[in-house]
Amino acid sequence: MKRSQFIKSSCTACAMFALPGITALLMESCASVPMVKVKLDTTVKEFTIPIAKFEKSKLVIVRVKNFAFDLLIIKKSETEFKTLELKCSHEDQPLTMSNKNIYCTSHGSVFDFEGNALKEPASKPLKSFKTKLVNRVVIITLR
């Protein structure tokens, strides 16, 4: 067998074994989480999200205009919400998430949905923001 044929057949075989695992990982990390873009009221440093955004998911990603990192709002119960900044506490890298945890793809840190560091190099929790439900609107204060 020629070298080029061997490499081609080896790569094809590896791809067939690796593809299902990679696809499953990508599907898990690309879970359907709604994203909302908001503009920050700079006078009070807060914004609101309608409760209806949580009908299909307990998680909502928020992209705040002129804010360096996305935020993750977690619906913990019918009346309790938590907001985490998706910025790694290790070296200020953006975070990604799956339906199980929050990950730093730069250095491998892992966080739970409470913001606690589960895997180093990060050892500090994620920054959280005051979040409350008032009249079917979730209010997040960025102070």
Q: Which pLDDT belongs to residue 43?
A: 81
% of residues, the chain, pLDDT over 70 = 78
pLDDT at 13 over 70: no
Q: Which pLDDT belongs to residue 4?
A: 57
Q: Are 17 and 86 in contact (CB under 8 A)?
A: no
Q: Which pLDDT belongs to residue 34?
A: 87
Lowest mean pLDDT among 6-15, 57-66, 101-110, 126-135: 6-15
Q: Are 101 and 73 in contact (CB under 8 A)?
A: no
Q: Which pLDDT belongs to residue 3?
A: 62
pLDDT at 2 over 80: no
Per-residue b or e along 17-45, where b marks 16 or more CB atoms closer than 10 Å to that residue's CB: eeeeeeeeeeeeeeeeeeeeeeeeeeeee
Averaged pLDDT, 29-41: 76
Q: How far is 85 from 137, CA to CA, in rounded Å?
A: 20
Q: What is the 3-state secondary structure (H, E, C) of 59-115?
A: EEEEEECCCCCCEEEEECCCCCEEEEECECCCCCCECEECCCCEECCCCCCEECCCC
Higher pLDDT among residues 8 and 58, named by residue:
58
pTM: 0.76
pLDDT tens digits for range 76-99: 999 999 999 999 999 999 999 888
